[in-house]
């Protein structure tokens, strides 16, 4: 699994005119599942998201997690994280997990983040055309890959 994690002051997701999720201070996570991903990949990514120390402590150092600050996590499905544009100009998405299994992992990620103690877990809508609105904090953006390719 891959995730782009952004520290935000606020973030929201809208499908058409319907708000599907919104948070104040916390993390906006774009989450993609790759071919062959399973429970181990999900556990790795969820643990990293919940415990990533990218919020400032009293000394101003990035030393606190979203759990420590009681922040929210907004998770947006993003199969394009597996887009391969190394050849040609049109990305190939053959590395992405097929939609039924990807949806299951996406939904399990929401449950797992709540079980990890995240106070507020919000979500986009799987496979929908979404509008994401955010106010970056920092900006701080971290890339995660359960196979540790980067």
The domain locations on the chain are: 2-140
pTM of the full structure: 0.97
Among the four given CATH numbers 3.50.80.10, 2.60.120.310, 3.40.630.90, 3.40.228.10, the one describing domain 2-140: 3.50.80.10
Catalytic residues: 78-80
Q: Could you give the CA distance from residue 110 to residue 122 in angstroms, rounded to a whole number?
A: 8
Q: Kindly report, residue by residue over 16-25, the tens digit of the pLDDT.
A: 999 999 999 9
Q: Could you give the CA distance from residue 50 to residue 73 in angstroms, rounded to a whole number?
A: 9
Residue 64 banded pLDDT, cuts 50, 70, 90:
very high
């Amino acid at each position: 699994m891959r995730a782009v994690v952004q520290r935000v002051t606020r973030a929201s997701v809208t499908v058409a005119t319907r708000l599907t999720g919104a948070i104040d201070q916390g993390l906006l996570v774009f989450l993609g599942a790759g071919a062959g991903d399973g429970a181990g990949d999900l556990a790795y990514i969820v643990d990293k998201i919940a415990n990533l120390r990218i919020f400032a402590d009293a000394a101003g150092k990035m030393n606190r997690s979203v759990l420590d600050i009681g922040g929210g996590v907004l998770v947006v499905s993003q199969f394009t994280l597996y887009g391969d544009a190394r050849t040609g100009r049109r990305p190939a998405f053959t590395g992405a997990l097929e939609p039924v299994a990807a949806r299951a992992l996406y939904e399990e990620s929401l449950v797992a983040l709540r079980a990890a103690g995240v106070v507020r877990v919000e979500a986009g809508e799987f496979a929908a055309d979404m509008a994401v609105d955010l106010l970056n904090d920092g900006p701080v953006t971290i890339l995660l890959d359960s196979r540790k390719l980067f």
